[in-house]
Amino acid sequence: MTTFADTSALYALLSRSDRSHTDAVRAAQTVRDQHETLWTIDAVVVELWRLLRGAAGHDEADRLIQALIARGLDVQPSAREDYTRAWQLAASWVDQDFALTDRLAFAAIERGRGFRAWSYDHDFAVIRLGPRRERALDLVY
Amino acid sequence: MKLKSTQIYLTPAEHAALQHEADRLGSSMTAVIRGLVDRYLVAAGPATDLTDLAGTVSTAQPTDIAVDKDRLLYEDLRDDLRRHERPVRVAES
């Protein structure tokens, strides 16, 4: 099984000062115990690196991103059509303020690796995918 | 993307389920099958184990990344700009 990992989930796991840390540790243990593969997109990694740099410095941010990848976090590039979908999502969810990173994540999830996602970001609970906006994400907490 | 043709036989129930999923996603049955193969066979790499990295970072102030992310990213950007500040040079006339 594959699960998309959002910035909030990875940061909450790494930072013991974060409110969602305990939940994130439990989720990471579930991922390990169920032999799941975590995947994400480049935009999330860049966002996470910036958060880690702010929290722990440039070198530690580099080290932690390398460590995540070395432990099996699969980082995928965004496809060109993901950007097209991101603009569509902005147009069809005018009452929301989804960041581009989140919309690229939604597009990549919709494109085909399953609807399971690990996130503490409220936007991941709000989004509905598919042409009729009826498919909620299967969230891991 | 180069594609190879194949033929599969489905039970009526499997066919109906596949058609339903394709209709729901606004996609084709072929695309749904490719997605399932990718999800369960191609993309399923080795299991991910991040547990030993848990709690390797701590901050002076507690955070709630679920709601603070944009603020923290802004602060990182602001600090980055400060780190790269250059003195303004005014050309003498």
For residues B38 and A112, is the Cβ–Cβ distance under 8 A? Answer: yes
Q: What is the average per-residue pLDDT within A19-35? A: 95
> What pLDDT, on the 0 to 100 scale, is given for residue B50?
97
**Which SS3 state, helix, strand or coil, does residue A132 take?**
coil
Give yes or no for residue B43 having a pLDDT over 60.
no
φ, ψ (nearest 5 deg) of residue A15 = -100, 115
Of B39, B56, B65, the CB nearest to A20: B65
Query: CA-to-CA distance for B49 and A18, rounded, in angstroms?
Result: 20
Whose tokens are 């702010």? That residue is: A54
For residues A1 and B42, is the Cβ–Cβ distance under 8 A? Answer: no
Say which residues have a Cβ less than 8 Å from residue B71's Cβ, sequence separation at least 6. none
**Which SS3 state, helix, strand or coil, does residue A135 take?**
strand
- C-alpha distance from A93 to closest chain B C-alpha (Å): 18
For residues A48 and A12, is the Cβ–Cβ distance under 8 A? Answer: no
For residues A74 and A44, is the Cβ–Cβ distance under 8 A? Answer: no
Give yes or no for residue A84 having a pLDDT over 60.
yes
Give yes or no for residue B12 having a pLDDT over 80.
yes
Of A20, A68, A134, the CB nearest to B50: A68
Q: Where are the beta strands (DSSP E) in chain A?
A: 2-5, 37-41, 74-76, 116-118, 128-129, 135-136, 138-140
Element (H, E) at A90: helix A80-92
Q: Which of B38, B41, B50, B58 to mutate to test the interface with A (most CBs of A within 10 A)?
A: B50
Of B52, B55, B79, the CB nearest to A21: B55
Give yes or no for residue B88 having a pLDDT over 70.
no
Give yes or no for residue B77 having a pLDDT over 80.
yes
Cα torsion B69, A35, B24, A135: sign: negative
- C-alpha distance from B1 to closest chain A C-alpha (Å): 13
Give yes or no for residue A75 having a pLDDT over 90.
yes
In A, residues 37-66, which contact B (CB 8 Å cutoff)? 37-39, 47, 50-56, 60, 64
Q: Which residue of B has its CA nearest to A52?
A: B57
Q: Which of A90, A21, A11 is nearest to A56 (CA)?
A: A11
Which pLDDT band, with edges at 50, 70 and 90, does B45 fall under?
low
Give yes or no for residue B90 having a pLDDT over 80.
no
> What pLDDT, on the 0 to 100 scale, is given for residue B20?
87
Q: What is the average per-residue pLDDT within B55-70? A: 94
Q: Which of B59, B65, B67, B68 to mutate to test the interface with A (most CBs of A within 10 A)?
A: B65
Q: What's the predicted TM-score (pTM) here?
A: 0.80
Mean pLDDT of chain B: 84
Can you give the residue ranges of every domain in chain B?
12-42
Which pLDDT band, with edges at 50, 70 and 90, does B40 fall under?
low
> What pLDDT, on the 0 to 100 scale, is given for residue B29?
87
Element (H, E) at B12: helix B12-25
> What pLDDT, on the 0 to 100 scale, is given for residue B85?
80
> What pLDDT, on the 0 to 100 scale, is given for residue A29?
96
> What pLDDT, on the 0 to 100 scale, is given for residue A78?
94
Q: Are B65 and A11 an interchain contact pair (Cβ–Cβ within 8 Å)?
A: yes
How many percent of chain A have pLDDT more than 70? Answer: 99
Q: What is the average per-residue pLDDT within A103-107? A: 96
The ipTM value here is 0.91
